[in-house]
């Protein structure tokens, strides 16, 4: 049995997005007089934590190549033939990068050693998770044509199906919130970052045509 393999190459996989860096922590407030009275120097407030950096987008999967077109010419089609001209599989996309965590708010001044302290700083927001890349396109199946002077008992096992598209990349997770700094009162917590979106799957390639032609020239 003759075999003809002419499939398209699969697409390359995408690359995962880079995760965002964590936000910087806030700075503790300046010290005031301790013990503190109404006329003394007030302790300073803690500074806010900074926002986490956003993650980067995952890259797209590569497009697959098409299967080759095959024309087989025979005199008398009495043998079995396997021909594979399927399109390649689209590359899967990269996952979106996750967002960095928000920085912690700074503590109020005199927080650790006095009965009167400054306000705690607000925690930073988490960075945004980014989107997953899109899956690559599936390759088209190649056309298969058998031209025979005479068709007797031959068997054609042909596969010219279009290749499936690559999978879209998963969404990157948003960064976690930064905690508020301790103080009087304590600082408020930041907000978690939003997640990215899942990438789109690539489309399936078109199927090739399979035909057997008998010329009748025997």
The confidence score (pLDDT) of residue 4 equals 86
d(CA 6, CA 158): 11
The confidence score (pLDDT) of residue 93 equals 98
Q: What is the pLDDT of residues 34-87, one digit of tens each?
A: 776 666 778 889 999 999 999 999 999 999 999 999 998 877 766 678 899 999
d(CA 56, CA 41): 46
Q: What is the pLDDT of residues 135-163, one digit of tens each?
A: 999 999 999 998 888 777 667 889 999 99
Parallel, antiparallel, or unpaired: how do β-strands 144-151 and 70-77 relate? parallel
Q: What percent of the chain has pLDDT over 70?
A: 91
Q: What is the pLDDT of residues 171-192, one digit of tens each?
A: 999 999 999 999 989 999 999 9
**Surface-to-core class of residue 211, CB atoms within 10 Å of its CB (0-12 exposed, 13-18 middle, 19+ buried):** exposed
The confidence score (pLDDT) of residue 15 equals 98
pLDDT at 1 over 50: no
Question: Contact, 146 vs 209, CB < 8 A?
Answer: no
| Cis previous bond, 185, omega within 30 | yes
Instruction: Among 11-15, 27-31, 204-208, name the one with the lowest average pLDDT.
Output: 27-31
d(CA 97, CA 197): 11
pTM of the model: 0.84
Residue 115 is classified by DSSP as S
Model confidence at 208, in pLDDT bands (50, 70, 90)?
very high
Q: What is the pLDDT of residues 98-149, one digit of tens each?
A: 999 999 999 988 766 676 788 999 999 999 999 999 999 999 999 999 888 8
Question: Contact, 20 vs 175, CB < 8 A?
Answer: yes
Number of other residues whose CB lies within 10 A of the CB of residue 58: 30
- 83: which 2 tokens? 């021909």
Kindly state the average pLDDT of the residues 20-43: 84
d(CA 33, CA 54): 41
d(CA 106, CA 109): 9
Order of strands, sheet of 144-151, starting from the edge strand that comes earlier in the sequence = 70-77, 144-151, 210-214
Q: If phi over 0 gives left and psi between -120 and 50 gives alpha, with beta otherwise, what is residue 216?
A: left
């Amino acid at each position: 049995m003759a075999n003809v393999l002419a499939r398209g190459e699969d697409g390359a996989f995408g690359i995962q997005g880079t995760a965002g860096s964590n936000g910087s922590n806030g700075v503790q407030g300046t010290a005031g007089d301790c013990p503190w009275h109404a006329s003394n120097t007030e302790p300073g407030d803690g500074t806010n934590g900074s926002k986490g950096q956003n993650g980067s987008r995952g890259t797209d999967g590569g497009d697959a190549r098409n299967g080759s077109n095959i024309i087989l010419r025979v005199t008398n089609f009495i043998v079995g033939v396997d021909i594979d001209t399927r399109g390649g599989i689209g590359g899967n996309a990269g996952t979106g990068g996750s967002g960095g965590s928000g920085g912690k708010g700074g503590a109020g001044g005199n927080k650790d050693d006095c009965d009167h302290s400054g306000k705690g700083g607000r925690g930073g927001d988490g960075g945004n998770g980014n989107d997953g890349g899109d899956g690559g396109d599936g390759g088209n199946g190649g056309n298969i044509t058998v031209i025979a002077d005479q068709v007797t008992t031959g068997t054609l096992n042909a596969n010219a199906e279009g290749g499936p598209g690559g999978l879209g990349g998963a969404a990157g997770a948003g960064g976690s919130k930064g905690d508020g700094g301790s103080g009087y009162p304590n600082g408020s917590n930041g907000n978690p970052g939003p997640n990215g979106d899942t990438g789109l799957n690539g489309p399936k390639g078109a199927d090739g045509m399979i035909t057997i032609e008998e010329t009748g020239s025997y």
